Structure 1
């Protein structure tokens, strides 16, 4: 069970959770890397300016270069301090660039970890389906002005749901364990825009973007829906579709067993 702590003065380290949005266009992914602009690196630099020491940040999702987040969840420990959680939020935003924004902070039990405590991560992928691109959306969608059969995509997505070895949807040299459980895929059509929504506890690197590229191939009529089962069983990256561009992908939400008070 989660415990949200409400205190302004404490004598032990404090575990802070924050909800963060960012435009991934100018970031080389989430994970901190020496000499490269990353989301984690920029947030840790801001916290160091505030607390005058290095603060390690845990993120719920390790987004790739160019991928955005509506709601990335982070946790970090800070030293004893009289600053309240609202003050931490304002201090962080004052020290962060304009392409990252902290929109909620709270103090949680020290056992809570943004990455390991999460039970579901939801990603949205947006495909702009119009012969003309909206200039102001081009950084946040994949512009694909070719016809797609939405019902065929929905039928084929069924073959991807559930527990599978997703080796066919990972980078060639990625040696992680490859069995994952994809809880649900939703295909939603809006005016001019197709949304693919993916729900799972965890994913392989670039897995969502490869799933999108594969589903698009089916929607274009290049493959029959039943080929998806064959691709999964093949466990061979060369058999799946292309990796969709990063700019259409958003880490949309992260779910935990019990949400703290006042959390959205």
Structure 2
């Protein structure tokens, strides 16, 4: 039985996150419904990461075993895209080693977060970006971003009942002006705590508006106290962009 890995894009607006749950619509739930429809049996899947309610993906990786040896890779991809709902799309599908698990074998995860800074909202982007109608000082945000890089205890930047080890490695945080009104925050690391990226974004906007100085970020990290950091940025601006294996 072959193991394959799908590179999956999805619009997270109408999902209660990635992970399968009873009685609510999730990405994993819809994906496994499609697998069962194609293969006429229950097929389990394994994702590279869990996204929260409202968070999108361009490059989520989902691995699963193929019960039908007669189907080609292209057959499987086409079949999935024909039965999946319109807010999920398989961008690529390839055969991988039988022991492949995207969650544990990922070497780097990359998230993109988009801010829309125009004074008036664009209602057609309301589920795609964080409308943030304030001037942002990108240079100050870049100085603050350097404090996040490296291996550190990110207890101040986790949310909820996340009891995992708070020590994480962030390789790079980039602040990029994509256009006059769109700012991209790109965060690269091995793995992240619950809402960690959104909490980082919320902090960077505090610096960008001049409410905080860049140096305060270091103090918040050293405090290891969630109450010292601001509220999370909303989910609609966040995209699980890419995984490197």
Q: Same fold (TM over 0.5)?
A: yes
How big is each residue's C-alpha offset from its partner over 1:222-248, in whole Å with a ceiling of 9 and x where there is no partner? 111111111001111110011000000
SS where residue 115 of structure 1 aligns? helix
CA contact (8 A) 1:67 1:249 kept: yes
1:143 to 2:163 alignment: no
Range with bigger deviation, 214-223 or 201-210: 214-223
Inter-partner Cα distance in structure 2 for 1:172 and 1:39: 21
Shift of 1:111: 2.2
SS where residue 105 of structure 2 aligns? coil
Range with bigger deviation, 196-205 or 132-141: 132-141
Inter-partner Cα distance in structure 1 for 2:134 and 2:33: 43
CA contact (8 A) 2:154 2:166 kept: yes
Superposed, 1:1-264 pairs within 5 Å as 13-191=1-179, 192-256=181-245
Per the normalisation by structure 2, the TM-score is 0.97
SS where residue 243 of structure 2 aligns? strand
- Could you say which residue in structure 2 is the equivalent of 1:7? none
Shift of 1:172: 4.4
Shift of 1:190: 2.1
Count of residues in Structure 1 that have an aligned counterpart in Structure 2: 244
- Give the RMSD, CA atoms, in angstroms: 0.9
Range with bigger deviation, 159-168 or 169-178: 169-178
5+ unaligned residues in a row in structure 1: which ranges? Answer: 1-12, 257-264
SS where residue 152 of structure 2 aligns? strand
5+ unaligned residues in a row in structure 2: which ranges? Answer: none
Shift of 1:48: 0.7
Inter-partner Cα distance in structure 2 for 1:106 and 1:173: 35
Per the normalisation by structure 1, the TM-score is 0.90
CA contact (8 A) 1:15 1:108 kept: yes
Shift of 1:81: 2.1
CA contact (8 A) 1:18 1:75 kept: yes
